[in-house]
Every structure is written in C-alpha cells, then in structure tokens.
Amino acid sequence: MGDDVSTGARAKVDEFYRAESRYVLATLIRLLGDFDAAEEALQEAFSVAMEQWPRDGIPANPRAWLVSTGRFKAIDGMRRRARYDASLNELAHHIETTTGDSSEQEDEHIEDDRLRLIFTCCHPALAEEAQIPMTLREVCNLTTEEIARALLTKPATIAQRIVRAKAKIRDARIPYEVPPPSELPERIETVLRVVYLVFNEGYSASFGTSLTRAELSDEAIRLGRLLLQLLPEPEVIGLLALMLLHESRRPARTSATGDLVLLEQQDRSRWNRAQSSEGISLIERALSMKRIGPYTLQATIAAVHAEAPSAAETDWAQIVALYDLLLRVDPSPIVELNRAAAVAIRDGPAKGLALVDELLARGELATYHLAHATRADLCRRLGKNADARTSYERALALAKQGPEQRFLRQRLMELN
C-alpha cells in the first residue's frame, strides 16, 4: 500500500475525530452507562481506526464502526479486569446483552444521544459552575486548559468541577435521557441558560483585560445551532437569534485601541449583516410560533437596533413597548434598568433618571456597576455634574473589566 494512501487515511481519521468524536462519545455514554468508560472506549476506538483504516480502508459507516469498536473494546476491557473485580464480568454481560451492536439501529439514536448528553451536562442537579465546563468539555470537546483559559480559572479547578460533576451523575444516578414532554419546558430553560451564559462569558467577560473572548461566543452559537437542529422550539430559535444579533455588533463594539464603544456611537457599517439578517429571519420564525418567551423578546429588541440606520433613527417607542412585554414575561431589575434607558431616549433624560433613581432606591441593583453608570450618564446629560461624578465613581469602584474601567475613567475626566 502506498504511503499516500495511508497518509490520506490517517488524515481522514483526524478529520473524523474533530467532526464526529462527540457523536460517538454521546452514544458510547448511553451504551456503557458511564462517562469515563465511554471516554476511554472512544480513545481506544480511534486508536484502532488509526491502525486499521490506513491498511484496510475506511469503513462504509465510520461512525457506526467507531461506536461498535468502542463498545467491543469496553466489554473486552471489563472482561480482562474481571480477574481482579468479579462485578465487572456481570457488568460486561449486562452491557453485551442489553445493548445492540446493529449499526443501523445505533445510527437512528445518534441525534437523541447528542440531546441526552446536553441535557445531562445541563442537569439542574449539577452546580451551575459545573454545568458550563461539563458542556464545553463533553459537548463541545474543548480541553480542560481551553475551558480554564476561557473562564479565567485554573485548569485544576475546572478539572475538579468536571470530576465532581461526573461523580454526582454516577452516584446520584442522574439518568442519561431527554426529559419527557411534561418536563421539557423547564429543562430546556436550564440548557438555554447554560448556552447563554457561555455566550455572555465570551461576549462581555465579567473579569479581565479583554472585552470579548470570541471563541466562547462562537461555541455558544454552534451549540445554539445544534440545539435548534435537535429541538426546534420557539425559545431555542429566539436564543440563537439573540446571540447572532449581539454577535453581529462585535466588530463595532471595541475601538482600534481596545476601548468600549457604546451602541449609540458604534459605526453601524461594521456590523456583520449576514449574522443580523439571519437573526432577524429566525425571529420571524419564532414569532410565527405564537409562544413568545424572553429570549425571543430580547432578540426582537436587538433586531429593532439592527434595522435602525442610526441611534437617532431607532424606533425607541417600539423598544420601550418590547421591554414592557419582557417585564411581564420575565420581570427583573436589569430589564427595568434597560427599559429606563430606552425611556430616557424616548421621553428625555429627566424621565429616565426618575425611573433609575426609583430602581436604585429599591437596592437590588446597588452593586451593579451599569446601574450607576446609567444614572451618571443621565445626570451628565441634564447638566448635574456633581451627581454624575458621584455615580461614575461608584460605577468605577464596582466595574471589574479593564475596558469598562477605562471608559468610566474617560467619562470622569471629561466632566472635570
């Protein structure tokens, strides 16, 4: 056999690993009932492929071949270790008799297995700080180091969270299943929240020096697309639309020097039109389904911005109306703050300031830097410079991100 052929086959195995390993893993977890055993079986299956494919050619259904090889290797390994631990023999027998080896049969489950994996990684019984790394590791195939870098945590911490989550899945027996329809709305909510947290972690990092960490947002959008393919529910569509519309503004959000540029000052010609028009057509699809949730509403607000040629030409009345609707569906002080900022543009800064002051007096947003920054901005517009200064200083003390701190310092300097 020529070297070219074997090099080609090896490249094919690599390519397959990148594209398919998560599908194979998702199915192996179901067959073997254990994350670690499945991970090990996956690696074994690929090392057999590396050896056999260059020699014998690529099998007709490579994915099914990998699943079947991994399953076989796992059962074989259990039999060998059964010499030291008799219970493994029983387990091997159980897996062998309860799971089929028919390739076609496995292929039908493949999409369901992907969903099972997502719902398990985002199970509400797992800590939120574990749901995100589990999803990025098991579903997106990011390494522990990559996740640690993205979440600005130590790799050891991430590794420990993943180990603990896997132990809880095993010991508390969290089932590997897509929830029944009666529980689906609640469970989808958790999954969507995890995906949105991943996106936001990438879009506006809460700590650190860089304003955006694009890779995480890309992963979140990829996850959103996968979910939509598997579960075309209105809020799944709404979340993907929301992420795309926010992402479309990324090129205009930071200046050449890495400084924050507010929405009203952004150069809209730099917005990614392909992403925003995809977002807009997704919203149309979500709205036509008549069950409107918070993600779809937030995406619709983002779409109003995307369709406006400038901040001044934005339909602020519609934006306020959408915030009113959002407050009814999903009330939160942050939504109220955003509504107040929109009212300030529609009805003037004095009206907005009254709302923000009322909101701050309630205390829930006392430590939220953007609440103070919004108040400072409105005071500045009204010529109340002393009040503006106090609020900018409070916002600066609370902001944790380099570019935001620079922005606030700049504003303070302009006041003096």
Partner 1 sequence: MKYLCLVYLEEKILKGFPSDTRRAISDDAMSYCEKLQKAGRLLAASPLHPVETATTVRVREGTISATDGPFAETKEQLGGFLMIDVPDLNDAIRIAAQFPAAKFGSIEVRPMKELGCAD
CA angle 159, 29, 196 (to 5 degrees): 55
Is-contact 130 165, C-beta < 8 A? yes
The answer to whether residue 185 forms part of the interface with partner 1 (CB under 8 A) is no
| Rounded Cα gap, residues 142 and 182, in angstroms | 32
CA dihedral 185, 187, 192, 193 (to 10 degrees): 120
Q: In the complex, what is the shortest distance from the CB of residue 74 to partner 1, in angstroms, rounded to a whole number? A: 21
The answer to whether residue 263 forms part of the interface with partner 1 (CB under 8 A) is no
Q: How deeply is 288 buried, as exposed, middle or buried, from its count of CB atoms within 10 A (0-12, 13-18, 19+)?
A: exposed
The answer to whether residue 173 forms part of the interface with partner 1 (CB under 8 A) is yes
Alpha-carbon torsion 236, 339, 212, 279, what sign? Answer: positive
Binding residue (CB under 8 A) for partner 1 from 3, 104, 171, 313 = 171
- Sole window of 167-175, 232-240, 251-259, 360-368 interacting with partner 1 (rule: CB under 8 A): 167-175
Q: Any residues with CB less than 8 A from the CB of 112 and at least 6 apart, and which?
A: 178
The answer to whether residue 397 forms part of the interface with partner 1 (CB under 8 A) is no
Beta-bridge partners for 208: 401
- Sole window of 64-72, 158-166, 169-177, 368-376 interacting with partner 1 (rule: CB under 8 A): 169-177
Helix crossing, 273-288 with 294-307: angle to 10°? 140
Q: In the complex, what is the shortest distance from the CB of residue 168 to partner 1, in angstroms, rounded to a whole number? A: 9
Q: In the complex, what is the shortest distance from the CB of residue 124 to partner 1, in angstroms, rounded to a whole number? A: 8
Q: Give the SS3 label for residue 382.
A: coil
Which residues 96-125 are close enough to bind partner 1 by CB under 8 A?
125
- Sole window of 8-16, 175-183, 264-272, 309-317 interacting with partner 1 (rule: CB under 8 A): 175-183
Task: Identify the DSSP state of 178.
Answer: P
Q: Give the SS3 label for residue 260.
A: strand
Task: Identify the DSSP state of 94.
Answer: H
Binding residue (CB under 8 A) for partner 1 from 58, 174, 325, 382 = 174
Q: Which of 376, 396, 399 is nearest to 386 (CA)?
A: 376
The answer to whether residue 234 forms part of the interface with partner 1 (CB under 8 A) is no
Nearest residue (CB) to partner 1, 124 versus 155: 124
Q: In the complex, what is the shortest distance from the CB of residue 86 to partner 1, in angstroms, rounded to a whole number? A: 16
Provide the b/e sequence for 109-122 (b: ≥16 CB within 10 Å).
Answer: bbeebbbbbbbbbb
Is-contact 310 268, C-beta < 8 A? yes
Nearest residue (CB) to partner 1, 169 versus 287: 169
Q: In the complex, what is the shortest distance from the CB of residue 183 to partner 1, in angstroms, rounded to a whole number? A: 8
Nearest residue (CB) to partner 1, 149 versus 164: 164
Nearest residue (CB) to partner 1, 174 versus 321: 174
Binding residue (CB under 8 A) for partner 1 from 172, 214, 329, 397 = 172
Q: In the complex, what is the shortest distance from the CB of residue 180 to partner 1, in angstroms, rounded to a whole number? A: 9
Nearest residue (CB) to partner 1, 120 versus 272: 120
| Rounded Cα gap, residues 28 and 113, in angstroms | 9
Task: Identify the DSSP state of 135.
Answer: I
Is-contact 408 399, C-beta < 8 A? yes
Q: In the complex, what is the shortest distance from the CB of residue 174 to partner 1, in angstroms, rounded to a whole number? A: 5
Q: In the complex, what is the shortest distance from the CB of residue 358 to partner 1, in angstroms, rounded to a whole number? A: 31
Q: Which of 374, 302, 383, 388 is nearest to 345 (CA)?
A: 374
Q: Which two tokens stand for residue 189?
A: 């909510």
Binding residue (CB under 8 A) for partner 1 from 175, 185, 251, 348 = 175
* 259 Rama class: left (phi>0) / alpha (psi -120 to 50) / beta: beta
Nearest residue (CB) to partner 1, 173 versus 328: 173
The answer to whether residue 33 forms part of the interface with partner 1 (CB under 8 A) is no
- Sole window of 93-101, 131-139, 172-180, 206-214 interacting with partner 1 (rule: CB under 8 A): 172-180
The answer to whether residue 86 forms part of the interface with partner 1 (CB under 8 A) is no
Q: In the complex, what is the shortest distance from the CB of residue 38 to partner 1, in angstroms, rounded to a whole number? A: 18
The answer to whether residue 83 forms part of the interface with partner 1 (CB under 8 A) is no
The answer to whether residue 202 forms part of the interface with partner 1 (CB under 8 A) is no
The answer to whether residue 179 forms part of the interface with partner 1 (CB under 8 A) is yes
Residue ranges that bind partner 1, judged by CB under 8 A: 125, 171-175, 177, 179, 183
